[in-house]
Amino acid sequence: MNKKQKVVIFATLALGALFAGCSKPDPVIACGREWNPAVGYVADTGSVFRMADELIIQIRYGTGFDFNKLKIAFYEGTLENKGAEIWKHEARVNDKLDAYTLEGRSRRGGYATAREMTKLKAPGTVVIEVSSENGLIATKQLSIVNQ
């Protein structure tokens, strides 16, 4: 390989790395039973929770929120058949944050249970919908069971 080919290959790799570094990860709704505030992330344990399990919800946006208001809404039903709104929450965010954690406190101490967080009276499915003034960001379906 001559010097000119090496320069072209190096320049191509450098541009590829630059564009790969600029890509923004997809927003994620992480739901889990455990959250360590020191680390700042919820351990995403899936989408099936018992009514008595603690439930902490985190919206991970990637490199920083590029809007000011985050809207989180809970609906009865499934992603395919979304029902009535159960409750909603609005939060102020900024570009210095890359995640927002929704954690409630239980009346008995500790974090809110799945029953308390979703405000369900009986086991069922819930859709979490996260949006901003720019539109829908992410959705996730949770199954709340009574085991």
> What does the domain layout of the chain look like in residue ranges?
24-145
Does the pTM surpass 0.75? The reply is yes
Q: Is the pLDDT of residue 68 over 80?
A: yes
Question: What CA–CA distance (Å, rounded) separates 88 from 108?
Answer: 23
Coil, strand, or helix at residue 4?
A: helix
Percent of the chain with pLDDT over 70: 84
User: Which is it for strands 135-145 and 48-50: parallel, antiparallel or unpaired?
Assistant: parallel
CATH superfamily of 24-145: Macroglobulin (MG2) domain (2.60.40.1930)
Question: What CA–CA distance (Å, rounded) separates 118 from 28?
Answer: 18
Summarize pLDDT for 90-99 with one digit per residue, the tens.
Answer: 999 999 999 9
Summarize pLDDT for 10-58 with one digit per residue, the tens.
Answer: 556 555 554 555 556 689 999 999 888 888 889 888 899 999 999 999 9
